[in-house]
Structure 1
């Protein structure tokens, strides 16, 4: 969500004057909102989403603007919309996420409060220790809610995306057989130690964290949330933001209350699994949605290569043995 200067708040397309297919989709999404029938509404795009079409709404008679999310083509292959909505409701009740104004179960279209003074985090923000601390605070709060309707561990996600890749005839990189051997070792070790199940957000894209000067961070976008291995929540964050060993250990201590060889190993192994999950996701998504001007297949292969590179660390065997 991006804050607009005051002079731009009345800009945007006036409802009823749609010209493009994207604008017509917005107006169709607004039709079921009975409370806004007959009201003047202006809408304009909010850029930055990877899968969805996002829009800011200014509604006559409402004190706050709103944020409209229209699911992108192909995204239903990965997302349980009912579960995502349930997770968002729970997070909103905790006060760590914006309030929900409307949800269409049949389409997955969602309208939430637009946090006017907030902006989405950037990759640069993620290098600041206070930002990581705020994310951990949000994760610990979200991990404490009642179990979600959907249980999908990181192992389940990997199997799901691999099956999707096979069904689509997706070409996996030449090093996949070697990576798969290491994956089986990590999987067996994690299952032998037992899954530490908790509700997890599972998606630390910088844009999913909203910040404002002097205000607490807010968490958004629960499309990938599920009951999952708790360590994965932290592992995917430290992996995505390229934290070094020292920074990762600091985050482990803050997340768990202590940093031990066992917790470090668990996070490192889950970071390896995170790269496999998102690598497979990307190469599958590349075949499901050709509308985005982004090379998802290249990104996915890079993620899988990074996963394999972690197994070259001389500590890899100790991590597998310690989880």
Structure 2
């Protein structure tokens, strides 16, 4: 008996690989499912985590199981991620949270039937970022999360990790970090506009379905952060033109004066600095990644320096 049925699911108890055995171990720890027949199948798309679709005997609902990848705990506060995911589920902008193991970080949410993950191609449709802004407004509304971790905290943390791990950074890193310090002081002097933020606009984190509202998933990097940084992450991730950025700033804030535009532009440079350092550190943590994180990180840092060398950079800083 292969353990694999015609739907592509594998029954618990028939694991053949270490990866499948890790899934069965995670499922065995979910008390409400003890004694029930469970089946699992891989879900593609995660960069660091192992993702699975779970079918439980006696229920029409299927579930999504996420097993954290080795080394990911270096960057992720699992309890905070769980708090943010739970809040999103209650607000209806994310799937319902079903199970969370604080020791292992294993998480189970409802499987959103009929939904698919966005791709970079989807983001060429301007309706997509406008839907995301609607989600961000809902996410940012209300009380803050229990933990504040700003883009400055993130960048400084990655700098410490890079030093500790002896990570190779680009030769011009001191120039980038010099401008980072200037931007940090300017933003802190202006006062941060804190909100409960998602902090990770990878296309696959946005799920869409015909006739259904967009959903936002994967709250591993969530924290209280500068509101403008949330929008800046989106616009830098998707290479949006300055014209579209200006339109999205107006959608996001209800106005688009020079001060707000400058705030998003400066935060965009910090977003590339943060994720550039993150990627370089991430490459050092594991050789198992099927992705050149160091090359990606150096490219992000190069783009941060490009924005910092824009003739308008000092005017943006002054406008904060």
Shorter-chain TM-score: which interval?
over 0.9
| Helix, strand or coil at the partner of 2:35 | coil
**Most deviating of 58-67 and 268-277:** 58-67
- 1:240 and 2:237 aligned: yes
Match of 1:46 in 2: 43
Match of 2:268 in 1: 271
Match of 1:299 among 296, 311, 318: 296
Match of 1:58 in 2: 55
Match of 1:219 among 194, 216, 219: 216
| Helix, strand or coil at the partner of 2:207 | strand
Q: CA deviation at 1:59?
A: 1.2
Match of 2:81 in 1: 84
| Cα pair distance change 1:9/1:182, threshold 3 Å | farther
**For 1:312 and 1:277, how far apart are their aligned partners in 2?**
17
Q: Aligned runs of 1:91-130 on 2, under 5 Å? A: 91-130=88-127
Match of 1:23 among 20, 24, 31: 20
Unpaired stretches in structure 1, ≥5 consecutive residues: 1-7
Per-residue displacement from partner, 1:68-125 (whole Å, max 9, x unpaired)? 0000011000000000000011111101110111111111100100001100000011
| TM-score after normalising by structure 2 | 0.97
Match of 2:149 in 1: 152
CA RMSD of aligned residues (A): 1.0
Per-residue displacement from partner, 1:166-190 (whole Å, max 9, x unpaired)? 0001111101011111111111110
Does the Cα contact within 8 Å between 1:10 and 1:58 map onto a contact in 2? Answer: no
Q: Which runs of 4+ in 1 moved over 4 A?
A: none
Unpaired stretches in structure 2, ≥5 consecutive residues: none
Per-residue displacement from partner, 1:133-156 (whole Å, max 9, x unpaired)? 110011111011321121100011
Match of 1:4 in 2: none
Q: CA deviation at 1:10?
A: 3.2
**For 2:285 and 2:123, how far apart are their aligned partners in 1?**
30
Match of 2:193 among 186, 196, 208: 196
Match of 2:164 in 1: 167
**For 2:198 and 2:136, how far apart are their aligned partners in 1?**
7
**For 1:144 and 1:57, how far apart are their aligned partners in 2?**
32
Q: CA deviation at 1:312?
A: 2.1
